[in-house]
A and B are shown apart, each in its own frame.
Chain A
Amino acid sequence: MKCLGFILTLFFHFNILFSQSVELPQVGVLDFEPRGIPTSLSQRFTEAVRNEIENINLVQVIDRGSLLSTLEERGYKRSNCITDYCEALIGQLLEVDFILSGSIAYADSIYTIDMNMVSVPIGSIDKSITMRVFGDYQNLMDEAEAAAWNLFGLKSPQQIAIVEERERIAKISSTLSGGVPVNIKNRFRWPSALRSTILPGWGQLYSDHRKLGLSLMGSEIVLGGLAFTFYKFYEYQLKDINLYNRMYANSADPNKLKEFRDVLLKAEKNQNRYVDNLQYTLLTMGIIWTLNITHAVILDLDRNVENMPEVDIVLNESTNQPQLRLSIALD
């Protein structure tokens, strides 16, 4: 079904394109009448509008040269033809379907553009548009595109972009002023810290701190080995103490008693030394472990902060005002 729909749509569009290329209505664009502006400016604006209409590709535009020559051949002057009927007659002479005419007036820093699309067969205005442009000559020329599109009841690409931008800004503004909150989920994550908590150095290896990670891991392994050795020595001494305590308690031989006493005192001294060493080793392991976790947490914080939305002040060109910009990385 999808395939059939696609084929039909394709056929339909080809049909439209084909029919348009054959039967596009013809338009003659007369130079806009200058009112309070130089004629050359009016002609430039007209030329810009003419080019835009050509680009829209909905009608065929008679080029300016052939239009002027035809009018001169028939003895018409542009300034004498100011009525719709007259323009319709010119259209008939040019053998076009529509005649576009208009005027540009300038007063108080405002350009007022009046454009009329006269239907030649009917002899009356088919479409009429009035536009006001604030600013200088460049602003006027920038409006040529919009003028051409608006003639056909369409919005120019630039106008569409501006509308979309305004909607987007309005949405953000409503959110900031207590509207629907923007749901930016940016949870802090602790992959390195978790790994370093489980195994010292693992988080550093995960975060590409290879040397540090291996050093931490190696240190903990060595210290762990030492701690295990001290623990085993302590166990041996504890066994000796328990054994010789029993032998000492059950002996009556002064020589044996003296021997057992010496052994017991020595075993007790060694036992205490090994327990001390074990505690110091475990303490060192704990400190290194803590530092390792702290470092991993810092690495995670760095990573989290890098992924935080960035807010900065920028100039909005459409409103010509500063505004806050929120950037969110999508990686």
Chain B
Amino acid sequence: MRWINLLLIPFSFLFLSCDLGKVELDNCQDLGNYTVDLPGIGFCPELSTGSVNDNIELSISVLDITDAAGVHAQVNYDASMVKIISADPGDFFLRSQKPIFVYEDDGQGKLDIYVFFMSSEKTNSGTGQIADIIVKLLQPGSSEVSITTESEILDPKDVKIPIKGFGTGTINAE
């Protein structure tokens, strides 16, 4: 063994890297991931990133609500930057029976989502996703999506449950 190798061995320890554990706080049930007042409706995640022409998934969640039987969520988006591809029901109202789920996209930047609980339990409380939306990134840049104040949460008697927070989200297209 050449003597220079004896030098390299100890110094190689300096260049050893440690695998750093990465904390993944991406649970949509975690209220800590939202910046809206409670109870409210928000996006999960609030910041999404993707490449142009990619489809990315965005969830709409109800946060810390009590005895909700149905939700109308109105979403504003920048139609020049993103396009709604599809919307599917989330698992908040999913039981043995699927919830009634209807969405309406005017293609001009407004998406209306209607979800109604069909289970025998009639209501559900807490935090959960009511819809999973697939959007396509059209142009590079940043655009905002927001829950409008037209959105509402209803109890089984079709009475509005007060909402304090209407969330916003940011979509970055690279």
Chain A residues in the interface with B (C-beta under 8 A) = 190, 193-194, 197-198, 231, 234, 237-238, 240-242, 245, 248-249, 251-252, 254, 257-258, 261, 264-265, 267-268, 271-272, 275, 278, 282-283, 285-286, 289, 293
**How far, in whole Å, are A249 and B31 apart by their CA atoms in the complex?**
13
**How far, in whole Å, are A268 and B19 apart by their CA atoms in the complex?**
12
A4 to chain B, nearest CB (A): 56
B126 within 8 A of A: yes
Can you list 19 pairs linking A and B with CB atoms under 8 Å apart? A197-B3, A197-B7, A198-B6, A234-B18, A245-B23, A248-B24, A249-B27, A254-B126, A257-B29, A257-B31, A261-B30, A264-B23, A272-B20, A275-B18, A275-B20, A286-B10, A286-B13, A286-B14, A289-B11
- Specify which chain B residues have a CB less than 8 angstroms from the CB of A283 in the assembled complex: 14
Given A254-B30, A282-B13, A286-B11, CB of A197 within 8 Å of CB of B6: yes
- Besides A197-B3, A238-B20, A245-B21, 17 other CB < 8 A contacts? A193-B3, A238-B19, A240-B21, A241-B22, A245-B23, A249-B26, A254-B30, A254-B31, A254-B64, A257-B29, A258-B31, A267-B21, A271-B20, A271-B21, A275-B20, A282-B13, A285-B13
Within 8 Å by CB of B29, from A238, A240, A251, lies A251
Assess whether A282 is in contact with B10, with CB atoms less than 8 Å apart.
no
- Specify which chain A residues have a CB less than 8 angstroms from the CB of B23 in the assembled complex: 241, 245, 264-265, 267-268
**How far, in whole Å, are A264 and B33 apart by their CA atoms in the complex?**
14
B157 to chain A, nearest CB (A): 26
Within 8 Å by CB of B32, from A194, A231, A258, lies A258
**How far, in whole Å, are A231 and B11 apart by their CA atoms in the complex?**
17
- Specify which chain B residues have a CB less than 8 angstroms from the CB of A197 in the assembled complex: 3, 6-7, 10
Chain B residues in the interface with A (C-beta under 8 A) = 3, 6-7, 10-11, 13-14, 18-27, 29-32, 64, 126-128
- Specify which chain A residues have a CB less than 8 angstroms from the CB of B11 in the assembled complex: 286, 289
**How far, in whole Å, are A238 and B7 apart by their CA atoms in the complex?**
31
A250 to chain B, nearest CB (A): 9
Assess whether A248 is in contact with B32, with CB atoms less than 8 Å apart.
no
**How far, in whole Å, are A285 and B127 apart by their CA atoms in the complex?**
52
Chain B residue nearest to A289 in the complex (CB) = B10
Assess whether B25 is in contact with A261, with CB atoms less than 8 Å apart.
yes
Assess whether A249 is in contact with B24, with CB atoms less than 8 Å apart.
yes
Chain B residue nearest to A240 in the complex (CB) = B21
Chain A residue nearest to B11 in the complex (CB) = A286
Chain A residue nearest to B127 in the complex (CB) = A254
Within 8 Å by CB of B25, from A238, A248, A267, A278, lies A248
- Specify which chain A residues have a CB less than 8 angstroms from the CB of B32 in the assembled complex: 257-258, 261
